[in-house]
Amino acid sequence: MDKLAYKNAVNKVFMAVMITVILGILASIFSAFIATSAALDMTQALVTGDSMPFTGLLSVLIIPLLVVAASIYYVIALGDLANAVHENDVPAVKKLRTAVILSIISSVIGLCIFLVILSKSLTAIVSVGAVIGVACAVLSIIAYIFTLIAYSKLKASETFPGKDGAKLLFIAAIIALCCGVVGAIPFLGIIGGLGAIASMVLQIIGWLKIKNSEVAETPAAE
């Protein structure tokens, strides 16, 4: 294993994770206020037949688009990590990379609902929105499964330097999955929110452990 290449790749992954987490926190803090105001403006436009307010669409889309951009950087960083880890760990890292790609696709598909909103057709919004919701749910579930499998393999690996960090990431992924289920149940949203915070903290600590893990330089062949 190339120690320098591994360290550079892990640093990139950690940066991508931090950016994504920070954007997630910003989304949690501001999205409710911004989305409510924007939703009222867009609803009024639908009812009155006026043009859709650009500022309303932009305010709802800006953070999700930034998250997608950060996730793309995450995919690139994981690609570098796959090229730097021991060959035994390459499949797990690639599986994690695939999970992130599926999450990006899910996010992009989810944002397509705003294109439907521009049509101002309530029937189209309801019907297409339902299809988009199902597609996003399926992709998210598959992404979670891939994530759990990847972290499970890395935490049990004898050649991955950050296996202790991978254990925390595995726990974080399970908590995130549970939060998604609990958060959908009425009156349990607060529990899902607290779990999401715990998952984000574990994710940061997990990747920090991987970032600071000791790497043994692979000896050159004689």
Share of the chain above pLDDT 90, in %: 40
Q: Mean pLDDT over residues 47-73, rounded?
A: 69
* DSSP H helices in the chain: 3-48, 54-84, 90-111, 113-117, 122-155, 163-183, 189-211
Tens of pLDDT, residues 90-111? 999 999 999 999 999 998 888 8
What DSSP letter does each residue of 187-200 carry, written as one string? Answer: T-HHHHHHHHHHHH
Asked whether residue 178 carries a pLDDT value surpassing 70, the answer given is: yes
- Collapse the DSSP code of 149 into the 3-class scheme (helix H, G, I; strand E, B; otherwise coil) and give the result: helix
Asked whether 124 and 95 are in contact (CB, 8 A), the reply is: no
Q: Mean pLDDT over residues 69-76, rounded?
A: 92
- Collapse the DSSP code of 116 into the 3-class scheme (helix H, G, I; strand E, B; otherwise coil) and give the result: helix
Instruction: Tell me how far apart the alpha carbons of residues 25 and 104 are, in angstroms, rounded to a whole number.
Output: 18
pTM metric for this prediction: 0.80
Residue 197 confidence (pLDDT) = 84
Asked whether residue 191 carries a pLDDT value surpassing 80, the answer given is: no
Instruction: Tell me how far apart the alpha carbons of residues 168 and 182 are, in angstroms, rounded to a whole number.
Output: 21
Asked whether residue 220 carries a pLDDT value surpassing 50, the answer given is: no
Sequence ranges of the domains in the chain: 3-211
